[in-house]
Amino acid sequence: MTQRATLSQLLVALPSIHRTTLTLLSATTLTLFYNDALWSLILKTPFDNVLDQLLFDGSFFLFIFLIFNILLTLISVSYIQKPIIVLIILSATGCNFFASHYGIMFDRSMMQNLMETDSAEVVELINFHFLINLLFFGAIPATLITLIRIKPTSISTGLKHKLINILLSVLLLTAVILLAYKDFSSVFRTHREIRNLIIPTSYLYYGSRYLSGAYDLNNRSLQTIGLDASSGPLLNSATKKVVTVVVVGETARAMNFSLNHYGRETNPELSKENIINFSQTYSCGTNTAVSVPCMFSDIPRNKFDNATAQSRENVLDVLSHAGINVLWRDNNSGCKGVCERIHQQTQKEYRLEADCNAGECFDEMMLNNLSLYLNSTDENTMIVLHQHGSHGPSYAHRYPKKYEQFTPVCEGSDLQSCSQQQVINAYDNTILYTDHFLAKVINFLKQHNDQYITAMLYVSDHGESLGESNLYLHGLPYFIAPEEQTHVPLILWLSEAYKAQFNINNECLSKQASSKLSHDNLFHSILGFMDIQTTSKNKALDIFSKCRNVQKIAGR
């Protein structure tokens, strides 16, 4: 009884406020304390004098505050007001943490990436700093909001207060925009990303759009492409089965490959192979949810729309139309819809616990039982291996311990608690392991040279920021993304039998190694890789088309 009485007395002692007051306090709090990345940008906007700077900053604060106030007023209805504000505060806490600590922006592609991320990746993002942040900026304010008592008012009085609040806010917002229009328009033109920095409106808008199905075109009929695809004369004349492997890298940035003159030896095994390293290759997107569908699509990056791609066939479908057997193996969070219409193997078909550590399975696992699979089919085959690669933030979990050559490393996912060099060390070890994995793929193909005509192509989906300009991870809107997130490795290995069968001029390909390429080349180059003829292929984007010995082809 005493405890109940004490609790009751405490609750009675708490302040009692009007719903409008709670709305105003919530809007102020969100504006000031949950938009660190936004204010970091705004406060750096240069002005000729301090007075102009203060006027602009004050105007922008009012602009954001008034928008929040109007939106929160609209939902300040009876018993749902506090629960909704609590949910917004908690979600804004997490989003502000990732925006301020990792430079993440919440746009359409990022929300899609978050929605399609598996639970293991989500768990990695939860660290000590995140939990402390969630406690002080999420749990404590949410508890206070829950305990605060709302003064009872009649429905008519409450409605009158809401209308007055909204009317005054709209009038004041209009005045602020008119008075500061010149400065606002200049800043918004210069920094188009601002709208994606405003928390919570950015993630609420794109998240609600995603959940409502606005970006989902699954109800549309599938648009077929390349129905005229057929194997070319070089493939048809092969006396042995052709087996090619396409390795889809994860979060590998080109600048950390010693093949691209990085200061560390991160490619000791590949450097001993007869490979062609295309050093100037750029990604279609800055996250997996966009880049993987885009790199297999015939839609160029500047016109790419993920929702449209969902209802359109990709290069793997075109290969199937041409009679090529295509297999997808995954050590990541799925193929993002790319492999829906081709053969996929679940991990249970090739997972061995010897290749895993504490639930983390290393990329080498994808080679298990692959010989058995190839022996089970007589068709020309392309195998796609989707790596876990260098996926952050827990880089140190992506490789077996014996590949931890660069030390000390950042052991966990809390990158802010590590020095930048520790983060780079852990990341470089993932590249070292990818180097080993790719060399192992090449060795696997070499071991089957007596049975098959073999080749390998490797390209990463996007890059990664490792603290440069205080940015971490990836996912920035493409138009402002740094090169660290868009410059990716592209590596080609061709067996001697492949070069002979497909009349490849190796010297010609090597001369293209420094040419600027992108994921836009991949659709057409994969078709060229397998000598597939179709009107869907653009020869100008096929890296192989210029480097075939025309005389030999004509002489067949």
Paired with 490 in beta bridges are: 278, 459
- pLDDT > 90 fraction of the chain, expressed in percent and rounded: 71
pLDDT at 67: 96
Tell me which of 211, 231, 264 is where a domain ends.
211
Around Cβ 219, how many Cβ atoms within 10 Å? 7
| Same domain assignment for residues 124 and 251 | no
The rounded distance, in Å, linking the Cα atoms of 549 and 511 is 15
| Same domain assignment for residues 58 and 15 | yes
Task: Check whether 459 has a pLDDT greater than 90.
Answer: yes
Mean pLDDT, residues 471-476 taken together: 91
Better-predicted residue by pLDDT, 433 or 117: 433
DSSP state of 240: S
E strand or H helix that includes residue 95 = helix 81-102
* Lowest mean pLDDT, pick from 6-15, 72-81, 200-209, 421-430: 6-15
- Residue 217 inside a domain? The answer is no
Interior angle at CA 394, CA 393 and CA 397, nearest 5: 150
| Same domain assignment for residues 109 and 248 | no
| Same domain assignment for residues 372 and 292 | yes
Q: Which domain holds residue 355?
A: 242-554
Q: Which of 276, 258, 255 is nearest to 266 (CA)?
A: 258
- Residue 224 inside a domain? The answer is no
The rounded distance, in Å, linking the Cα atoms of 130 and 121 is 15
**pLDDT tens digits, residue range 236-261?**
999 999 999 999 999 999 999 999 99
| Same domain assignment for residues 503 and 356 | yes
- Residue 232 inside a domain? The answer is no
Task: Check whether 555 has a pLDDT greater than 60.
Answer: no
| Same domain assignment for residues 382 and 462 | yes
- Residue 320 inside a domain? The answer is yes
**pLDDT tens digits, residue range 175-198?**
999 998 888 877 887 788 898 999
Where residue 528 sits, what CATH number does that domain have? 3.40.720.10
- Residue 15 inside a domain? The answer is yes
pLDDT band at 503 (very low <50, low <70, confident <90, very high): very high
| Same domain assignment for residues 182 and 256 | no
pLDDT at 554: 38
Mean pLDDT, residues 285-305 taken together: 95
- Residue 21 inside a domain? The answer is yes
| Same domain assignment for residues 306 and 370 | yes
Give the burial class of 44: count Cβ atoms within 10 A of its Cβ; 0-12 exposed, 13-18 middle, 19 or more buried.
exposed
Please, what sign has the CA dihedral across residues 444, 341, 290, 92? negative
pLDDT at 2: 54
Paired with 319 in beta bridges are: none
pLDDT at 49: 87
- Residue 233 inside a domain? The answer is no
| Same domain assignment for residues 146 and 284 | no
pLDDT at 553: 40
Asked whether 335 and 386 are in contact (CB, 8 A), the reply is yes
**pLDDT tens digits, residue range 341-384?**
999 998 989 999 999 988 789 999 999 999 999 999 999 999 99
Tell me which of 192, 211, 230 is where a domain ends.
211
Pair of tokens at residue 240: 């042995």
| Same domain assignment for residues 200 and 300 | no
E strand or H helix that includes residue 17 = strand 16-17
* 460 phi/psi in degrees, rounded to 5: -85, 155
Task: Check whether 23 has a pLDDT greater than 90.
Answer: yes
Task: Work out how many domains the chain is built from and give that number.
Answer: 2
Tell me which of 167, 192, 211 is where a domain ends.
211
Asked whether 245 and 437 are in contact (CB, 8 A), the reply is no
| Same domain assignment for residues 172 and 260 | no
The rounded distance, in Å, linking the Cα atoms of 125 and 394 is 8
Q: 């300009």: which residue's tokens?
A: 469
- Residue 141 inside a domain? The answer is yes
Q: Hey, is 175 helix, strand or coil?
A: helix
| Same domain assignment for residues 465 and 322 | yes
